[in-house]
Amino acid sequence: MTTSDILRAALVNQLTGNGTLTDPAWIDAATAVPRELFVCGYFVPIDGSAPTGYRAVRHGDPGYLEGVYADQTLVTQLDGRTRPEEAGEQSVSGAPSSSSTLPSLVLAMWQRLGADAGHRVLEVGTGTGYSTALGAHRLGDGAITSIECDPWVAERAAAAVKAAGYAPRLVTGDGLGGDPDGGSFDRLIATCSVRYLPTAWLHQVKPGGRILVTLSGWGYANALALLDVTGPGEATGRFLPGYTSFMIARSHDRPPRPALALLPGKERASRIDPAKLDTWTGSWVAQLAAPSAERMGAGGRQILSDVATGSQARTVPDPAGGWTVVQRGPLRLWDQVETAIEAWQSAGEPPQDAFGLTVSAAGQRVWLGSHDGPGWNLPI
Ligand SMILES: C[S@@+](CC[C@H](N)C(=O)[O-])C[C@H]1O[C@@H](n2cnc3c(N)ncnc32)[C@H](O)[C@@H]1O
């Protein structure tokens, strides 16, 4: 047995032991696919650095293989261009733009997707190709089509998938447009997040099929949804428990903006504690209520800046207690967020699995509790 085999077996034991990996066929895939073939190098965040600095760990460096077989996400590209191989020994910074997702999440998602023999699967966000290879091992090469938008990432993934002995169909392009050849699929799994469901997905996944995707946005909140496609262009389902987040699809990312200038506006007392927006579900509710706003700040000092209209809202703690909110611009962002947070509080502040999503010709509506509960339209 090689060191890689031993470390991989230990990871599989960890994931079966903690209840993540339960399906024998996916256990077999996790045991068979060597993750190091897909990750020649990766970036490790440097503790305490702000903004986050990274050091590159490359094949052959001390701890490289142990890192590959830790249950962690491995960042493999920054800012759409910086790669570990070329990073040198200095600390580098940038926004992660490609990665190998942590194995427990990749395998949990494959299991949750419920893909079975005979199913055709579209994966959006090939990344390193590790999850693609797992899918090809479990379902067969012919079952998998995977799309990656970054040509360099796609090229590396293709080489790695081939070296691992698999031959799924790999496409380079914007996965939000679906299969450019107009495929028809039983399942769609996305390992980048989206602000709303792309129309192509809703037509390329057959009625009766399923979509597993993380919804995110410019407020940096995330929620993993499992949807049943109910007809052409229609789907419904619920958000799943847990804390899943993925990097946003490049074509859904916030456009670049100049440095933010905080401007005066109308002041009033806030009815809600702004720190609610720092909680996992509170930030999700705020993002639903103000879907084109970027969220900054923390605690009692929240800042919302609307990308579409330039509207702003910011909160400041009052020395006498409570918080003041300052709002300006055509959208009253805090009014929107406050009303949504109050609706969520009236329901007892439930976690994300209390929410669902229905997509129809009328739009894409996230609801709380049931279809006719409080709801918010996604920004399609
Ligand atoms: C978290 S990584 C994928 C992880 C991958 N499944 C793995 O196991 O290595 C997300 C990937 O989605 C890609 N991506 C982002 N936007 C995309 C889009 N619109 N279409 C296709 N791929 C996209 C990124 O370039 C990145 O490689």
Last residue of a domain, one of 228, 251, 274: 251
- Per residue in 180-191, pLDDT (tens digit) is 999 899 999 999
Predicted local confidence at residue 88, as pLDDT = 81
Predicted local confidence at residue 161, as pLDDT = 98
Q: Best mutation site among 250, 252, 253, 254 for ligand 1, i.e. most ligand atoms within 8 A of its Cβ?
A: 250
> What's the CA-to-centroid distance between 259 and ligand 1, angstroms?
28
- Per residue in 307-352, pLDDT (tens digit) is 989 999 999 999 999 999 999 999 999 999 999 999 999 999 999 9
Q: Is residue 352 part of a domain?
A: no
In whole angstroms, give the CA distance from residue 59 to residue 67. 11
Last residue of a domain, one of 32, 67, 100: 100
CATH number at residue 207: 3.40.50.150
Mean pLDDT, all residues of the chain:
97
236 with 188, same domain?
yes
119 with 22, same domain?
no
Q: Is residue 153 part of a domain?
A: yes
70 with 118, same domain?
no
128 with 246, same domain?
yes
What single letter denotes the amino acid at residue 40?
C
37 with 134, same domain?
no
116 with 230, same domain?
yes
110 with 79, same domain?
no
180 with 223, same domain?
yes
Q: Is residue 227 part of a domain?
A: yes
Q: Which tokens belong to 47?
A: 């503790």
Domain count, the chain: 2
The DSSP letter of residue 254 is P
Q: Is residue 223 part of a domain?
A: yes
Q: How far is CA 275 from CA 42, 322, 326, in A?
A: 34, 11, 16
> Which ligand 1 atom is nearest residue 130's CA?
8
pLDDT at 131 over 90: yes
Predicted local confidence at residue 211, as pLDDT = 98
Q: Which tokens belong to 2?
A: 């090689």
> Which ligand 1 atom is nearest residue 147's CA?
21
Q: How confident is the model at residue 82 (pLDDT cuts 50, 70, 90)?
A: very high
122 with 183, same domain?
yes
Q: Nearest CA to 324 among 268, 247, 250?
A: 268
Query: Is residue 297 a contact partner of residue 314, using CB atoms and an 8 Å limit?
Result: yes
Could you tell me which residues come within 8 angstroms of residue 117 by beta carbon, excluding any fewer than 6 positions away? 139, 140
114 with 243, same domain?
yes
Q: Is residue 115 part of a domain?
A: yes
Helices and strands, number each (H, E), in the chain:
9, 20
Last residue of a domain, one of 69, 100, 131: 100
Predicted local confidence at residue 359, as pLDDT = 97
pLDDT at 257 over 90: no
76 with 174, same domain?
no
Q: Is residue 201 part of a domain?
A: yes
Which residues' Cβ are closer than 6 Å to ligand 1?
97-101, 106, 124-125, 127-128, 130-131, 147-150, 153, 174-176, 191-192, 246-247, 249-251
Q: Is residue 26 part of a domain?
A: yes
130 with 241, same domain?
yes
Domain assignment of residue 238, given as a range: 106-251
Q: Which tokens belong to 220?
A: 């940096």
Q: Is residue 59 part of a domain?
A: yes
